[in-house]
Amino acid sequence: MSDVATLDKLEYLQERLLAGDEYRYDERSPNTVNSLMGTVMAFIRFCHSRGWVTSVPKLERLESDEVMKGRPVTGPEFQQMLDATESVVGKRSAESWKFALRVLWESGFRIGELMDFSWNDSRHIHPIWPTQKGQFSTVIVPSSQKNGRVQEIPMLPGLAELLEQIPVKLRTGWIVNPTGMEVELQGSRHSFQPSVDDLRKLTQRYSNVAIATACGVSEAAVRKWLNRHGIQSSRSLQENAVIPANKIERLRSRAERCPGSPIRRTENRLTKERVGRVIGLIGMEAGIVVQLEDSRVQRRKKFASAHDIRRGLAQRLINAGVSAETLKVVMRHKDFATTERHYGALRSAQSAAAEISTRLAPSTEISAFVGGHKKTPPLSAEELLSLKSLLARL
């Protein structure tokens, strides 16, 4: 640790992270790099407290905009995501995914919290239903959540209505459990998985790349097959060796006669990472852009994600006039500064706009008479005659 916990090494790491090393995109945003380096620095401080390093370098944070990575999803945009769900996950799985999206929309959960939402397990996030008149439904969030606190938060009316639609006899286990999707690797109808015997023989002569090319799958898929069956690849293979076409057809023919040979798998309980990626694909399919590309600040084009749906809930609460203090409770921010930083400006702008509109709008409530009374209704003909008579006598 002493060798790598130097200012030079940390600045080099910061630079390479910003350049996009080991990343699926060409570059990282300064916000992302600051977050990653914050974790590294926290570990170095821990090492320093244990005496494993002599000092903690003073690494400067990158300049960045303190803005959300995205924006709140609107109601019409959320409907577009629902409409696009089936084309992403398939008809069989669509309803379970739409239900997951609706729970996100009505709860403001993070993706990890969504997948930790249980009907009746107190070790996980779970609902509390009222037992007395005048009580409201709430949600218990255990200390395993992001802010590390046990919290009881109000269950929003839309979420309560959504959950109450589920029959009581079905209210066990996980509340949100998107149907495990059958997926075909690389989406190719020509893909196949060799039998175990054939796979073992292939690894003695051909590389993983050659096997993957012949089977129409990715190299990662081949590695998973080998790990699953405990097969070791030969280290003395030539990477450019190609499996002959006639041999591929024989492999395919034998694979089709083996039970379960088509390259399809069923995932039962999906991970939060998998669910998050699928929701991101739904946002992309729906065409909901929440952040435009801006090369000046290393900001890439971003489509709606699960967190943007969470932001959509916060925006709806702000528009409904919910206080920032209540918003902090619902969003479960660790401190008020987070709420103020991300949503305070929105509230201030809306409040200011409302005040200006009230002040500058032409009022129909002020009478033409001095004194500021409400405008009186028009006088009848008899009242006008009486008034003229009174004025004539004065």
User: What number is the average pLDDT over the span 46-60?
Assistant: 91
Residue predicted with more confidence, 148 or 173: 173
> 141 Cβ partners below 8 Å, 6+ apart?
113, 125, 150, 151, 152, 153, 332
The reported pLDDT for the residue numbered 240 is 64
Residue predicted with more confidence, 319 or 365: 319
The reported pLDDT for the residue numbered 363 is 55
Region at 262 (left for phi over 0; alpha for psi -120 to 50; beta for the rest): beta
The reported pLDDT for the residue numbered 318 is 82
Lowest mean pLDDT, pick from 233-242, 343-352, 363-372? 363-372
d(CA 279, CA 213): 30
User: What number is the average pLDDT over the span 261-275?
Assistant: 66
- Listed ranges 82-91, 205-214, 348-357, 364-373; the one with the highest mean pLDDT: 82-91
Cβ atoms of 191 and 184 closer than 8 Å? yes
Is residue 239 pLDDT above 70, yes or no?
no
Cβ atoms of 49 and 287 closer than 8 Å? no
The reported pLDDT for the residue numbered 163 is 95
The reported pLDDT for the residue numbered 352 is 58
| pTM of the complete model beyond 0.85 | no
Is residue 223 pLDDT above 90, yes or no?
no
Cβ atoms of 141 and 113 closer than 8 Å? yes
Mean pLDDT across the chain, nearest whole number? 79
State what percent of residues in the chain have pLDDT above 90. 28
Is residue 15 pLDDT above 70, yes or no?
yes
The 10 Å Cβ neighbour count of residue 13 is 17
Is residue 270 pLDDT above 80, yes or no?
yes
Residue predicted with more confidence, 160 or 258: 160
Cβ atoms of 286 and 81 closer than 8 Å? yes
User: What number is the average pLDDT over the span 365-377?
Assistant: 49
Residue predicted with more confidence, 393 or 221: 221
SS3 content of the chain, % helix, strand, coil (to 5): 50, 10, 40
d(CA 210, CA 215): 9
Please write the tens of the pLDDT for every residue from 240-254: 678 888 888 888 888
Q: How far is CA 1 from CA 12, 47, 57, 158, 224, in A?
A: 15, 8, 12, 51, 34
